[in-house]
Amino acid sequence: MLTAVFALYFALTLGLGLWQATRTKSQKDFVIGGSKLPGWMLALSERATGESAWLLLGFTGLVYGTGLASVWVAVGCLSGICTAWIVLARKFREEAERHFAITMPEYFSAKFPSHAATIRLLSTVIIVFFFVFYVGAQFAGAGKTIFVTFGVDPFWGQIVSCAVILAYATLGGFVSVVAVDAFQAILMITTLVVTPVVMLAKVAAGPVSLSRALAAAGPGVDSWTGGVGGFAAGLLIFNHFAWFFGYLGGQPQLNARFMGMRDDRQVRIGRNLAVGWTLVAYVGAVLIGLCAIPLFGRGAVADQEMILPTVLSGLFPPWLAGILLAGAVAAMVSTAESMLIVAGSSISQDVYNGILRKGRASDRTLLAVSRVATLAVGILGLALALTTDRLVYNIVSYAWAGIGCSFAPAILLSFYWRRFGGRGVVTALVMGLLTTVVWISTGLDRTVTAMAVTFFVAIGSAALVTLLAAEPPSPPPGTSAGTGSGSEP
């Protein structure tokens, strides 16, 4: 029964994606859906994309392994998501429309044409480099889940997941991905509502209360600061909360949903749905991790990130466990597909068309290059997943720092500081990339998270360069050296 449910899930996902692929007729359709998709669908897609294997495997595992202190991660993420939707979403839509941009690098290069080529190339390098890691983390998570559920070698679980995603993502692009994401978001929220409700009922009926179980689980598990005080407690809270900074315009795969909104009314619809969905999802994830402690004990799994599949397999009948596990896999699939589209379109739109072809590539050629590039990035992500044993949570946090906390300063300053120019964008991206790599490779991330350090170094450096350098005024939209979404065939 469990196998049948999972097979049905993959068949529905593939079928829906391929069906929607027939609507992809142009490069703009492939990259942002032609700005014709409804706000509710884009909101569900943004949430499914934003939460990934990180929420259902990585974060639930973190809560299970460390206890109450991990709640500060949820606080940081919730704060960032709300800020993105309430403050930045409409601005993204307006700026994308004003500068005829369909990717983030294209927006920067159109607004700051004197540094267009450098910005396009540097942005694409950062996106592709870190997205390969991010996509690899999703494939690794899918392999883990399928292994725990069916006993199938993670190698084949990753192969199957990758094949299904690439089949429709490379053909349909953004249109297919958003349609599948909306379906995935419903599955994910079902898992994050049904599972904690059942677990809470079982804990309430059991011999040990949740608070007593946490107190007996080990040092710091029942403490909001992990059992430490003073400066160490403040540092722990800050490190956990630092996920907030990556949401401030720094995630291209999420920003694409904002840029693809039809109008401000659709932004408002999407905002309300996305914020509500996120609040319910994070409360559910926290409760799953905490309730697993009294129900299963701390040593129930060798890999803490497998606590959700273990819970579902242990508490639910096979048919229901299959549906709820599909919600976990949905989180991984939705994120991987979205990142593949962003990376592939950045290669085609910003490097091939913007730099190599100087904006003269035909729409048909751009669409073909996007598909090939998407396929190539997916294969690289799969190769990484098959050769690493790092935790999903760790891989995602590194990519989050490298992408989110490099792009976020450039986005914020370009939106809200008129003096900011192309040199500032380049500085933010370079310093963000270098700081992330150096900070993590030297082990300093174990003391102060790279997510916060990268953000503050990037924004500080970009501001300093802007103050010291006189930038020429930006030309009116539509007259810059930056290219739009490609020339006509």
Mean local confidence (pLDDT), 238-242: 96
Per-residue model confidence (pLDDT) at position 338 = 79
- The residues near 227 (Cβ < 8 Å, ≥ 6 apart) are 219, 220
| 451 belongs to a structural domain | no
User: Number of structural domains, the chain?
Assistant: 1
The b-or-e profile of 196-219 (16+ CB within 10 A means b, else e) is: bebbeeebeeeeeebeebbeebee
Mean pLDDT over residues 186-190, rounded?
Answer: 90
What's the average model confidence in pLDDT over 167-183? 78
| pLDDT higher at 162 or 220 | 220
pLDDT of residue 279: 97
User: For residue 177, is pLDDT > 60?
Assistant: yes
pLDDT category at 195 given cuts 50, 70, 90 is: very high
pLDDT band at 25; cut points 50, 70, 90: confident
- State the pLDDT at residue 481: 43
Q: Domain containing 320 — which CATH number?
A: 1.20.1730.10
Is residue 469, in this structure, part of any structural domain at all?
Answer: no
**487, 362 contact by CB (below 8 A):** yes
By residue range, what is the domain housing residue 12?
2-393
Flag whether pLDDT at 364 surpasses 80. yes
Q: Cβ distance 269 to 44 under 8 Å? A: no
Query: Quick check: is 443 in a domain?
Result: no
Q: What pLDDT sits at residue 57?
A: 84
Which pLDDT score, from 0 to 100, does residue 480 have?
Answer: 43
Q: How many Å apart are CA 364 and CA 152, to the nearest integer? A: 41
Query: Would you place residue 472 in the very low, low, confident or very high pLDDT band (cuts 50, 70, 90)?
Result: low
What value does the mean pLDDT take over residues 215-227? 93
pLDDT at position 292 is 96
Return the pLDDT at 339. 82
Q: Mean per-residue pLDDT for 109-120?
A: 92
Q: Residue 219 falls within a domain, yes or no?
A: yes
Measured between alpha carbons, how far is 32 from 139 in angstroms, rounded to an integer? 24
Higher pLDDT, 23 or 119: 119
Does residue 455 belong to any structural domain of this protein? Answer: no
458 part of a folded domain:
no
Fill in the amino acid letter for 161.
S
Q: What mean pLDDT comes out for the span 247-271? A: 91
Question: How many residues does the structure list for the chain?
Answer: 489
Residue 147 predicted with pLDDT over 70:
yes
Residue 468 forms part of a structural domain: no
Burial of 193 (0-12, 13-18, 19+ CB in 10 A): middle
Range from 132-141, 276-285, 392-401, 459-468 carrying the lowest mean pLDDT: 392-401
How high is the pLDDT of residue 461? Answer: 97
Q: Give the pLDDT confidence of 397-420 residue by residue, as tens digits.
A: 777 888 888 899 999 999 999 999
Give 488's pLDDT tier (boundaries 50, 70, 90).
Answer: very low
In this structure, is residue 479 part of a structural domain? no
